[in-house]
A and B are shown apart, each in its own frame.
Chain A
Amino acid sequence: MENTLQLLSGNEALALGAYHAGVQVACAYPGTPSTEILENLARFKDIYAEWSTNEKVAMEVGMGASYTGARTMVSMKMVGLNVAADPFMAASITGVIGGLVVISADDPQIHSSQNEQDNRHYARLAKVPMLEPSDSQDVYDLMNYAFDISEEFDTPVLFRTTTRIAHSKSVVNADKIRVVKNLQPAFLYNPQKYIMLPVNALPRHTKVEERMIKLARYCETFPMNQVIWNKKKIGIVTSGVAYQYAREAFPEASFLKLAMTWPLPQKMIKSFAAKVENLIVIEELDPFLQDNIKAMGIKVSGKEIFPIVGELNTRIVTESSIGAGLIPESEKSVVLPPAEGLPKRPPLLCPGCPHTGIYYTLNTVGQRTKLAESSTPQEPKLIITGDIGCYTLGAYPPHNVLDTTACMGAGIGQALGMEKAGVKSKVVAVIGDSTFMHSGITGLVNAVYNQGHITILILDNHTTAMTGHQEHPGTGVSAQGKETYTVDIESLCKGIGVKDLKVINAFDLKALRTGLRDSIDKDELSVIIVRGACAVQVKKRQNPRKIDVEKCTQCGICLKLGCPAIQSANGQVFIEPTLCAGDICGLCEQLCPQKAISA
């Protein structure tokens, strides 16, 4: 490896950095923009990598591994840390043995999430150190520090990236080699550290406070916190990708670039502030740095100038700064508005998607098109609580089949809540197989125990599709590609006590309609497992369907499937053969009243 320059995404650099830093155990639950970290780590056969059932479990597996002295990484998207918050807080108080690095990949701008939360607050809440890289090289270089700090200070380390760091690629000089310090992990009896009974927890809290004092001293000389001197009229404190935008917008300013953003180096910040005329903070999302710097008694501005909502970019930083008089008006560039009136292109269910048939059925049984097109809010005939996954796309036209989507696993609880509150409509909950494993099971247990009458549709496409087709406990394959035990959803539901349980082929429209009708008309809780493989994972494509223009009356029913392969141009409906999934699907063929569609 003479030429070590590589073009790596933040996630690739993270996996490589962790590998070189000697990580031995890695666990995660998929979630954009964090997923590729574990996918990349899983390729190294000399570490153990797993997809955990959910983030809480991943964190607990991580704690156990760390207690034995193994270097451990737990990665997740930012909302995953909400799920894992309980063990994360616990790991803070027990501390670690082997370095425990927790990756939170935040998603400013909500590219693919359900909120825009700023997880830097978790570092403060949990009293743990936090590192924030500003490009892939930073990611790689910080990894070693992350594990070292964790071990030296007996604490988990929060490593926070954002979508623009995780998914951007930049040049990395990967100049280290893998070193593993603790080749034989071992757990040593130490109840004062590991058993958080009140008698032990209170003294541990004292230790946590002492650790924060030591860390506050350490961060003053942390080598990757950097001062870049230039003109002293404007001094900018920044971190993460915001640093890049700020550098571009302010070529003449001085910078304090922080790679460790909790605790903050108070002396360093004070001394930087004292040397510049005007101190500003440029950061994405909340005024985290700004508020904490203000609390040091330093005069600073930030969110008065730059937006809290959404990602930053160089244009936003420049325009906001012009507005505040920090950059002269003359620097303003003329920006054209986007071209008007262009049709949008939202994401769609793929051709051959196993969610399409049940969504068509729910749409018609629940008269959802009428509901969506009504000008005043109506009570749905069939209330459908949704969840998170590819199947959330059913919220869009032409399906319009979802009434709610909150966080993973929420749909089943919400459905029961509506029923118990006394709505007159029937309530159906829709949940994917990976989401069911993640956090649907407890909702089902609750609904059975509390005698709900809801219908639960488990859309079992045998993968975690939304995030790029990861394995999960129901697929029978491990994160590292080994065959393993398959958790059987039917037996699970039966064991919980579900009496009315049906398994229906996702591509059989008649069976879907009869099954759905039967379940919603029943006065008891019902589970339907709608089973069909994710089209992306079926490699074999045969016999794309064609429309016989002689027979077609242009009724447009097939278009209501929302299949991207079924298109219409100049008044004629046609099936794009390069997109059609062919034999694995056949939904349009079943639907066409004129029998105009065939192979």
Chain B
Amino acid sequence: MKKSMDILITGVGGQGVVLASDIIGETAIAAGYDVKKTDTLGMAQRGGSVVSHIRLAEKVWSPLIKEGQVDLMLAFEKLEAARWSHYLKKDAVVIINKYEQPPPSVSLGKEKYPSDDELVAALKRRTDKIYLIDGNQKVKDLGNVRTLNIFMLGCFAAFAPLDDKFWRESISQRLPEPIREINLKAFALGRKEIEGVRIGTN
């Protein structure tokens, strides 16, 4: 029996959430899983919030994960981690990119962007396994901010029941020659980063 896993990726339109979830799905098929995934965008390609459900198991029925059933959440933006906190299972793993993108109501001074404590409190209703990492800075140092999604996949890979060789293949298939190498580097970097954080804080 393959270990099943329900994954939620959250973020803001334009951050590459959908590509990241596609790659997880394709990696899991190669590893012999049944996979379903679904993205809820609405009109969100214009900077709205984005959430992608990915389910891996021997056999998957519904493409949507039930609230309270998510094993792992990968959040590309802080507020978008808290927004979907009610989907988490007890003791789920949450990996958050520290990046903050204020929604329009915040820029217009109508609402406040929640503090880190407030955001973490929402998640702590379910789990203490929260990893905050500075993805944007890391990929900036690497030299291409657009690799954030693949960096985040690297972080995820440390918790996924999927072999490294499948990851390399599916990433290489999805990303064309000129940006392939840097993305593979971002993936490795994400993996290293999360291993460090895992041992360090937790």
Give residues in A with beta carbon < 8 Å to B. Answer: 5-7, 111-112, 135, 164, 167-171, 241, 244-245, 247-248, 313-315, 333-339, 341-350, 390, 393, 396-398, 466, 468, 556, 559, 562, 564, 566-569, 578
Known: A339-B122, A345-B79. A333 touches B85 (CB 8 A): no
Partner of A171, one of B29, B47, B62, B126: B29
* Contact of B199 with A by CB under 8 A: no
Decide if A247 touches B61 in the complex (CB within 8 Å): yes
* Contact of B86 with A by CB under 8 A: yes
Which of B99-107, B154-162, B178-186, B187-195 lies at the interface? B99-107
Known: A313-B64, A345-B12. A169 touches B108 (CB 8 A): no
A337 nearest CB neighbor, chain B only: B86
Partner of A244, one of B25, B26, B61, B86: B61
Decide if B62 touches A244 in the complex (CB within 8 Å): yes
* Contact of B34 with A by CB under 8 A: yes
Known: A7-B29, A568-B109. A111 touches B48 (CB 8 A): no
A111 nearest CB neighbor, chain B only: B42
A466 to B47, CA, bound (A): 13
A466 to B104, CA, bound (A): 20
B79 nearest CB neighbor, chain A only: A342
A239 to B122, CA, bound (A): 37
A567 to B103, CA, bound (A): 9
- Which chain A residues border B36 with CB–CB below 8 Å? 135, 168-170
- Which chain A residues border B96 with CB–CB below 8 Å? none
Decide if B86 touches A171 in the complex (CB within 8 Å): no
Known: A333-B68, A567-B107, A568-B107. A338 touches B62 (CB 8 A): no
Decide if B104 touches A169 in the complex (CB within 8 Å): no
B80 nearest CB neighbor, chain A only: A345
- Extra contacts, 9 of them, besides A168-B37, A342-B122 (Cβ < 8 A), are A7-B22, A315-B67, A338-B83, A342-B79, A345-B80, A347-B47, A393-B46, A468-B45, A568-B109
Decide if A335 touches B86 in the complex (CB within 8 Å): yes
Pairs of residues from A and B, 9 with the lowest C-beta to C-beta distance, nearest first: A339-B122, A347-B48, A168-B38, A347-B46, A168-B63, A343-B111, A336-B86, A347-B43, A345-B103
- Which chain A residues border B42 with CB–CB below 8 Å? 111-112, 347
What distance in Å separates the Cβ of B43 from its nearest Cβ neighbour in chain A? Answer: 4
A398 to B83, CA, bound (A): 23
Decide if B38 touches A169 in the complex (CB within 8 Å): yes
- Which chain B residues border A5 with CB–CB below 8 Å? 29
B59 nearest CB neighbor, chain A only: A247
Known: A347-B46, A350-B46. A336 touches B29 (CB 8 A): no
Which of B38, B60, B125, B145 counts the most chain A CB atoms within 10 A? B38
Decide if B109 touches A336 in the complex (CB within 8 Å): no
Partner of A7, one of B26, B68, B122: B26
Which B residues, 53 to 76, have Cβ-Cβ distances below 8 Å to chain A?
Answer: 60-64, 66-68
Decide if B105 touches A343 in the complex (CB within 8 Å): yes
- Which chain B residues border A348 with CB–CB below 8 Å? 46-48, 104
What distance in Å separates the Cβ of A389 from its nearest Cβ neighbour in chain B? Answer: 11
Decide if B108 touches A397 in the complex (CB within 8 Å): yes
Instruction: Encode contact with A along B25-41: 1 for CB under 8 Å, 0 otherwise.
Output: 11001000011111111
Decide if B38 touches A346 in the complex (CB within 8 Å): no
Partner of B35, one of A169, A244, A338, A566: A169
What distance in Å separates the Cβ of A146 from its nearest Cβ neighbour in chain B? Answer: 22
Decide if A339 touches B22 in the complex (CB within 8 Å): no
A310 to B18, CA, bound (A): 23
A335 to B66, CA, bound (A): 9
Known: A245-B62, A345-B103. A171 touches B34 (CB 8 A): yes
A112 to B46, CA, bound (A): 13
B64 nearest CB neighbor, chain A only: A313
Partner of A346, one of B22, B67, B102, B104: B104
Which B residues, 80 to 125, have Cβ-Cβ distances below 8 Å to chain A?
Answer: 80, 82-86, 102-109, 111-114, 122, 125
Can you show 5 pairs from A to B with CB atoms below 8 A apart?
Answer: A111-B42, A135-B63, A333-B66, A342-B82, A347-B44
Known: A5-B29, A343-B103. A112 touches B39 (CB 8 A): no
- Which chain A residues border B114 with CB–CB below 8 Å? 341-343
Decide if B107 touches A559 in the complex (CB within 8 Å): yes
Decide if A314 touches B64 in the complex (CB within 8 Å): yes
* Contact of B147 with A by CB under 8 A: no
- Which chain B residues border A562 with CB–CB below 8 Å? 104
B43 nearest CB neighbor, chain A only: A347
Decide if A397 touches B104 in the complex (CB within 8 Å): yes
Decide if B86 touches A343 in the complex (CB within 8 Å): no
What distance in Å separates the Cβ of B196 from its nearest Cβ neighbour in chain A? Answer: 26
* Contact of B16 with A by CB under 8 A: no
What distance in Å separates the Cβ of A574 from its nearest Cβ neighbour in chain B? Answer: 10
What distance in Å separates the Cβ of B183 from its nearest Cβ neighbour in chain A? Answer: 18
* Contact of B149 with A by CB under 8 A: no
Decide if A398 touches B63 in the complex (CB within 8 Å): no
A397 to B61, CA, bound (A): 40
- Which chain B residues border A170 with CB–CB below 8 Å? 35-37, 60, 63
A259 to B35, CA, bound (A): 22
Decide if A346 touches B63 in the complex (CB within 8 Å): no
What distance in Å separates the Cβ of A64 from its nearest Cβ neighbour in chain B? Answer: 34
A241 to B107, CA, bound (A): 39
Known: A111-B41, A397-B108. A344 touches B67 (CB 8 A): no
A559 to B37, CA, bound (A): 37
Partner of B47, one of A241, A338, A564, A569: A564
A338 to B51, CA, bound (A): 14
- Which chain A residues border B105 with CB–CB below 8 Å? 343-344, 397
Which of B26, B29, B61, B62 counts the most chain A CB atoms within 10 A? B62
A247 to B57, CA, bound (A): 15
Decide if B63 touches A164 in the complex (CB within 8 Å): yes
A566 to B13, CA, bound (A): 17
Known: A112-B43, A170-B36, A248-B62. A334 touches B68 (CB 8 A): yes
Decide if A164 touches B48 in the complex (CB within 8 Å): no
- Which chain A residues border B37 with CB–CB below 8 Å? 7, 168-170
- Which chain B residues border A344 with CB–CB below 8 Å? 103, 105
Decide if B43 touches A339 in the complex (CB within 8 Å): no
Decide if B35 touches A7 in the complex (CB within 8 Å): yes
B140 nearest CB neighbor, chain A only: A578
- Which chain A residues border B47 with CB–CB below 8 Å? 345, 347-348, 350, 564
A248 to B4, CA, bound (A): 15
B28 nearest CB neighbor, chain A only: A7
Partner of A390, one of B41, B46, B62: B46
Which of B37, B46, B103 counts the most chain A CB atoms within 10 A? B46
What distance in Å separates the Cβ of B128 from its nearest Cβ neighbour in chain A? Answer: 15
A167 to B45, CA, bound (A): 14
Partner of A339, one of B26, B29, B82, B113: B82
- Which chain B residues border A167 with CB–CB below 8 Å? 38-39
What distance in Å separates the Cβ of A495 from its nearest Cβ neighbour in chain B? Answer: 34
A466 to B43, CA, bound (A): 8
Decide if B108 touches A315 in the complex (CB within 8 Å): no
A112 to B145, CA, bound (A): 29
